[in-house]
Amino acid sequence: MALAVTSSSSSTISSTSFFSRLGSSTDTKALQIGYFRNLERSNGFANLTQRRSLVRPINAEPQRKDSVVPLAATIVAPEVAEKEEEDYDELGRGLQNASPLEIMDKALEKFGSDIAIAFSGAEDVALIEYAHLTGRPYRVFSLDTGRLNPETYRLFDEVEKHYGIHIEYMFPDAVEVQALVRTKGLFSFYEDGHQECCRVRKVRPLRRALKGLRAWITGQRKDQSPGTRSEVPVVQVDPVFEGLNGGVGSLVKWNPVANVKGNDIWNFLRTMNVPVNSLHSQGYVSIGCEPCTRPVLPGQHEREGRWWWEDAKAKECGLHKGNIKQEDVPNHNGNGVTHTNGAAAEADIFNTQNVVNLSRTGIENLSKLDNRQEPWIVVLYAPWCPFCQAMEESYVDLADKLAGSGVKVGKFRADGEQKEFAKSELELGSFPTILFFPKHSSRPIKYPSEKRDVDSLVAFVNALR
């Protein structure tokens, strides 16, 4: 999708509807556009700061002695009159081919001070830039879990100064955090999953924040997580959280960059000279809390840097739980065939004549042999796993390189009915798991690295063959 950026006085924003509210007069329009281009980021809305106290805070619940009340709105917008219920599915279809700038403009126009941008301190800073470019007032909030990277906190400060705004921070309940840590320790999520910690530190604070809004804006993209975000619409009724009026359907969720590719987002950020998290230059792509985030390596999907000790299909913290549909969980029939969304079987991967497809009996026999004629390298995989899909090319290249070398290359589908066996007998932790079966030992050696490029895999094999 093309990202419209104004670069000179003779250029115009590509979305015609964006300027429709400026009037039909040519002189007036030229004046307004000139003002829009030359607006200084640091003080463009300075004249409105004295009115910030007039706007409800994001957290609309009564103040409690043990809680922190968020700041007032970042930038004031006029109250928006109630309108008749709108068909947001139809609105989304109409905006399907719209630019992120046009979608952002529409969202801010419709909801005024009752909408806010959710900012995580990563590449979603693009949302703030788009909101700034509309020339409309906007609000920004962020969830401070207490465990973010120092680089993320520094970015928050840079963004506030760059745009002349105040981010409205939401914090977890201190009593809940204390109970969790005292009961289970600081790193319980490595043992029993991240959901409980995320629920306390992220989901519940978000729920409180959204109770004071009628709509919110997120940085979700379809290409971020193939397993959970591939169908994200540009606008929808939030399927999980409630808004200001309470009840199902009381909150609208906008995803202006849903159809934008990650590299296009970065081209936009560089072009506009937007401040970004310094962790990005260190290999981090998807950034969350410090203990649960790490850089991604060649051949890995961007979401693999999050909760890497868990299965790929669980890579959501709960903020976008509505993306995970019950029917999206693979179902396995009596023949071991996987179906997703009730559609045809998931297409298999690693399909090449140089990769041997091992059955349950085959992998069992291979693991029991003390003296093999040839060493083997075998990947334990699930075809629906985006991280397995991401390494398919590297693994096929590995098989081609090892053809005729005396090392066999195999694959074993370890999801569904085979998963418990693979976990107990083959050291399966998460998908994909790569094992090397030496020639003179029955005990397999687990590939320890997250580097899944072909050169790293070849080096591993050569060190053990």
> Which residue, among 411, 388, 390, 389, has the nearest Cα to 399 in the 3D structure?
411
Complete DSSP assignment for 126-137? HHHHHHHHHTS-
Label residues 424-434 b or e (16+ Cβ within 10 Å = b): eebebebbbbb
Token pair recorded at residue 191: 């043992």
| Number of other CB atoms surrounding residue 196 within 10 Å | 14
3-state helix, strand, coil in the chain (%, to 5): 40, 10, 50
Q: Are 262 and 223 in contact (CB under 8 A)?
A: yes
Q: How far is CA 387 from CA 127, 227, 341, 350, in A?
A: 27, 10, 19, 13
Q: Are 47 and 54 in contact (CB under 8 A)?
A: no
Token pair recorded at residue 192: 């029993």
Beta-ladder partners of 379:
411, 434
Q: Are 172 and 146 in contact (CB under 8 A)?
A: yes
Token pair recorded at residue 383: 């075809």
Q: Are 275 and 159 in contact (CB under 8 A)?
A: yes
State yes or no: cis peptide before 432, omega within 30 of 0: yes
Distance of CA 52 to the CA centre of its chain: 31
Half-sphere exposure in the Cβ direction for 364 (13 Å, CA): 6
Q: Which positions ≥6 away from 12 have C-beta within 8 Å?
A: 6, 19, 33
388 carries an active-site annotation = yes
Q: Which of 198, 292, 317, 385 is catalytic?
A: 385
Which helix (H) or strand (E) is 209 found in, with range?
Answer: helix 204-210
Query: Which amino acid makes up residue 17?
Result: S
Q: Which residues are catalytic?
A: 385, 388
